[in-house]
């Protein structure tokens, strides 16, 4: 008699611990809002383990101690889905979305489910770039998890799915007897990068992207490995549900799944009509690169479940839903060759020559391979089929080879030992990843790049002096240094191919204008290592003239705010070099004379001590113009928004920085607002 009572109370004790641990897992992994310390959590877990050790009959499949309990499998079993897992139709442009909305609206109109002028209501969601999974809960307990497979039959990944801490082993609240939840398993970008680092340190497989890492982690036969992988899950639908569905809208069912303890994306929106869909697509696209995980599009679903039923299916895809894809950020193509580019400072960058491929909205033929170490790490070889990535506006890069497709006879890449441009030795300092040509300004590639840099908009801003002309001027030995540019005549320039007299005159006029630059621009134009725009500005403000700067010793240089030992020693080396002194003198002879600098203190200026961030396109001012006005008013311009940002100045097509400003409560100005503060 007493044993029975005892047993019931022990079971209650274990149950209470299940609920408590499940609740804290939910707070921690789903809501990101833990309410007890790790130590307190560990104590609950230890208590449960002790109890189960003393009374093994208390161990149930849905006990939190069993998340990683399972032994390695020999193979995955197969699971037939009680309700098939459908696929999604795709759209790649607005017209396809408009056609979808029209089809839906016409059908529902004919069925009397929308008024004559009515718009269809949709649920708009992210399209997570992961793996589709079906979870089966019976009496609230997770009993089975399966991959989508062909939609009818998938693989049994229950032991692996149990290790996902964000998934409840036991549902909360008022759950139905049978509930099949469908969703996507994925890995956050940051977790993917950390995993790859750890994999590399252990000499194990590197994953090419988060999706691949999530798939590889889920397809482990040993759940103990899966347990170490930071996988996440978001529910987006359902299969079998016993009894009557308590809601009539897709969005309400997803909210309900959230209340049962399942992770559901909060970034969903209920929208009306095609315009609502397209706005969601555009807004989400602007935030896309800032999200912690990868999405490859958005998904639209007719919100009314009754309307979904009327619309029905074609083949294996529902007529009530549509995936609207963003241009793929990754594609595969052939690596035809690896060439090296020599930069302004001699840095040797390997560049991949690719079979042209459409990725991220443009056709890509070249992609960076960063440096030799990266090529080795990724083991990329000429002839490989490679994955090319172009995310946002960043330079396309080669992510890695697809080893299964490697042809025979490929060879490891080695950086050339001599510069392909000038034949000088290529050196690689032990502690640096970058090889450099030692030719200095003897190397035509370095000379060309220095001149292109000096002519750039942030430097001397010499309009009409592009890369092509610089190539010709250097190749013909007409220009050997920055100073030589200022000796060019209309006659000489007009003698170059594709150079009319008018263009030559314009260029000579542009050069004339560039003879009196602001000091900071001239300093920046010289291309001294470690002297970027900001440092050039600080130096100009501090010293006021090029002569004063050239006369400064280390102590004087270090007394400038923001100038450290690296900048100081680079400046000293630059001005100690006879060739550079010659160029400085030649510049003077050619009439290059920087403007006098007003060394006014910034105190009392309108934006003194304030940092502003620019985003989007302003109606009248270019980014550089706006920056100059802000600096003139004593303010600073930064590239990223933080709580310390005084204002975000937003123009057309402002992106994530505007979103961030709104999140942080940073005041946002338009161009007019900025002018009002400045003037
Ligand atoms: O995020 C996703 N990848 C996602 C996939 C989503 N947000 N919603 C989806 N909805 C469906 C229906 C409409 C069929 C319930 C889906 C998928 N299906 C899906 N994923 C893989 C195949 C189909």
Instruction: Check if 180 has its Cβ closer than 6 Å to any atom of ligand 1.
Output: no
Q: What is the DSSP string of 458-488?
A: TTT--TT--HHHHHHHHHTTS-SSHHHHTT-
Give the C-alpha separation, 453 to 568, whole Å.
21
Q: For residue 232, what are the β-bridge partners? A: 186
Q: Which of 537, 523, 510, 567 is nearest to 627 (CA)?
A: 537
Q: For residue 614, what are the β-bridge partners? A: 649
Give the C-alpha separation, 386 to 135, whole Å.
35
Q: Which of 674, 645, 632, 451 is nearest to 537 (CA)?
A: 632
Phi, psi of 375 (to 5 degrees): -65, -40
Alpha-carbon dihedral 242, 245, 246, 248, rounded to 10 degrees: 170
170: DSSP letter: B
Specify whether the CB–CB gap between 383 and 414 falls below 8 A: no
Q: For residue 340, what are the β-bridge partners? A: 350
Instruction: Check if 521 has its Cβ closer than 6 Å to any atom of ligand 1.
Output: no
pLDDT of res. 143 = 95
- 122 Cβ contact list (under 8 Å, min separation 6): 270, 271, 272, 276, 277, 300, 301, 302, 303
Q: What is the DSSP string of 294-351?
A: -EEEEEEEESBHHHHHHH-EETTEETTEEEEEPPPSEEEEEEEEEEEEE-TT-BEEEE
pLDDT of res. 603 = 58
CA of residue 304 relative to chain centroid, distance = 35
Q: What is the DSSP string of 597-620?
A: P-----TTSTTTT-EEEEESB-SS
CA of 331 to the centre of ligand 1 (A): 22
pLDDT of res. 242 = 94
28: DSSP letter: I
Taking CA atoms only, the protein residue closest to ligand 1 atom 15 is: 237
Q: Which residue has the tokens 């290529």?
A: 426
Instruction: Check if 318 has its Cβ closer than 6 Å to any atom of ligand 1.
Output: yes
Q: For residue 351, what are the β-bridge partners? A: 339, 368
- CA diameter of the chain: 114
Alpha-carbon dihedral 615, 617, 621, 626, rounded to 10 degrees: 10
Radius of gyration of the chain (CA): 32
Taking CA atoms only, the protein residue closest to ligand 1 atom 22 is: 87
What is the position in ligand 1's atom list of the atom closest to the CA of 129? 3
Instruction: Check if 298 has its Cβ closer than 6 Å to any atom of ligand 1.
Output: no
Q: β-strands 385-389, 362-368: how paired? A: unpaired
Q: For residue 436, what are the β-bridge partners? A: 347, 427
CA of 235 to the centre of ligand 1 (A): 9
Instruction: Check if 211 has its Cβ closer than 6 Å to any atom of ligand 1.
Output: no
List, run by run, the mean pLDDT of 10-residue segments along the chain (679 residues). Answer: 70 93 90 87 93 91 83 85 91 94 94 85 96 96 94 93 94 94 96 92 86 92 92 96 93 96 93 96 91 94 95 87 89 93 90 90 88 87 92 80 92 90 87 84 89 93 91 92 93 90 93 94 93 90 87 87 88 89 92 80 71 91 86 82 91 86 90 86
Cα distances from 540 to residues 175, 456, 636, in angstroms, run 70, 19, 16
Taking CA atoms only, the protein residue closest to ligand 1 atom 7 is: 127
Phi, psi of 644 (to 5 degrees): -85, -10
Specify whether the CB–CB gap between 670 and 651 falls below 8 A: yes
Mutate-to-test residue for ligand 1 from 299, 308, 314, highest number of ligand atoms within 8 A of CB: 299
Give the C-alpha separation, 251 to 264, whole Å.
11
- The catalytic residues are 127
Instruction: Check if 321 has its Cβ closer than 6 Å to any atom of ligand 1.
Output: yes
The token pair at 330 is 């990754």
What is the position in ligand 1's atom list of the atom closest to the CA of 317? 14
Element (H, E) at 583: helix 578-589
Phi, psi of 622 (to 5 degrees): -75, 170
């Amino acid at each position: 008699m007493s044993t029975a009572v005892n047993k019931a109370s022990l079971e209650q004790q274990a149950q209470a611990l299940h609920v408590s641990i499940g609740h804290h897992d939910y707070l921690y992994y789903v809501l990101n809002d833990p309410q007890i310390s790790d130590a307190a959590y560990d104590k609950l877990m230890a208590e449960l383990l002790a109890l189960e050790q003393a009374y093994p009959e208390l161990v149930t499949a849905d006990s939190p101690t069993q998340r990683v309990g399972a032994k390695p499998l020999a193979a995955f079993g197969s699971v037939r889905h009680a309700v098939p897992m459908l696929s999604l139709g795709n759209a790649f442009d607005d017209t396809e979305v408009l056609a979808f909305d029209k089809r839906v609206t016409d059908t529902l109109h004919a069925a009397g489910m929308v008024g004559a002028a009515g718009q269809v209501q949709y649920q708009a969601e992210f399209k997570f770039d992961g793996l589709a999974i079906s979870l089966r809960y019976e009496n609230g307990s997770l009993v089975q998890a399966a991959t989508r497979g062909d939609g009818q039959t998938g693989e049994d990944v229950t032991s692996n799915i149990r290790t996902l801490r964000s998934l409840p082993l036991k549902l909360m609240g008022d759950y139905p007897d049978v509930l099949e939840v469908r969703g996507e398993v994925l890995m956050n970008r940051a977790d993917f990068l950390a995993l790859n680092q750890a994999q590399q340190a252990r000499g194990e497989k590197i994953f090419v992207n988060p999706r691949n890492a999530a798939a590889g982690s889920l397809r482990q036969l040993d759940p103990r490995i899966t347990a170490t992988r930071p996988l996440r899950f978001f529910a987006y639908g359902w299969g079998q549900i016993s009894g009557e569905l308590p809601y009539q809208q897709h969005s309400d069912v997803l909210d309900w799944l959230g209340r049962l303890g399942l992770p559901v994306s909060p970034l969903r929106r209920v929208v009306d009509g095609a315009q609502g869909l397209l706005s969601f697509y555009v807004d989400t696209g602007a935030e896309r690169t800032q999200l912690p995980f990868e999405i490859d599009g958005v998904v639209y679903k007719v919100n009314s479940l009754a309307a979904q039923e009327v619309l029905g299916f074609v083949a294996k895809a529902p007529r009530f839903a549509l995936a609207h894809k963003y241009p793929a950020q990754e594609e595969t193509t052939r690596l035809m060759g690896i060439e090296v580019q020599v930069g302004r400072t001699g840095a040797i960058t390997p560049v991949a020559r690719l079979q042209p491929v459409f990725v991220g909205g443009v056709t890509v033929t070249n992609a960076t391979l960063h440096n030799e170490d990266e090529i080795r790490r990724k083991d990329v070889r000429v002839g490989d089929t490679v994955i090319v990535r172009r995310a946002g506006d960043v330079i396309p890069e080669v992510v890695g080879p697809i080893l299964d497709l490697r042809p025979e006879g490929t060879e490891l890449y080695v950086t050339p030992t001599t510069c392909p441009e000038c034949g000088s030795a290529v050196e690689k300092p032990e502690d640096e990843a970058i090889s450099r040509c030692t030719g200095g300004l003897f190397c035509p590639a370095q000379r060309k790049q220095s001149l292109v840099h000096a002519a750039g908009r942030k430097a001397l801003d010499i309009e009409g002096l592009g890369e092509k002309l610089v190539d010709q001027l250097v190749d013909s030995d007409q220009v050997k240094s920055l100073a030589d540019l200022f000796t060019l005549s209309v006659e000489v320039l007009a003698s170059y191919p594709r150079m009319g007299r008018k263009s030559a005159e314009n260029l000579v006029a542009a050069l004339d204008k560039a003879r009196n630059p602001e000091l900071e621009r001239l300093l920046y134009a010289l291309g001294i290592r470690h002297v970027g725009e900001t440092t050039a500005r600080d130096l100009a403000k501090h010293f006021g003239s090029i002569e004063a700067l050239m006369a400064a010793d280390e102590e004087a240089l270090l007394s400038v705010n923001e100038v450290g030992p690296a900048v100081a020693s680079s400046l000293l080396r630059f001005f100690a070099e006879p060739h550079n002194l010659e160029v400085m003198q030649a510049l003077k002879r050619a009439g290059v004379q920087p403007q006098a600098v007003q060394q006014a203190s910034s105190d009392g200026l309108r934006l003194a001590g304030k940092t502003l961030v620019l985003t989007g396109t302003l109606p009248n001012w270019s980014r550089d113009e706006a920056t100059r006005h802000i600096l003139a008013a004593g303010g600073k311009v930064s590239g990223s928004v933080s709580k310390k940002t005084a204002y975000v100045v937003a123009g057309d097509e402002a992106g994530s920085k505007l979103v961030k400003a709104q999140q942080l409560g940073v005041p946002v100005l338009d161009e007019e607002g900025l002018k009002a503060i400045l003037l």
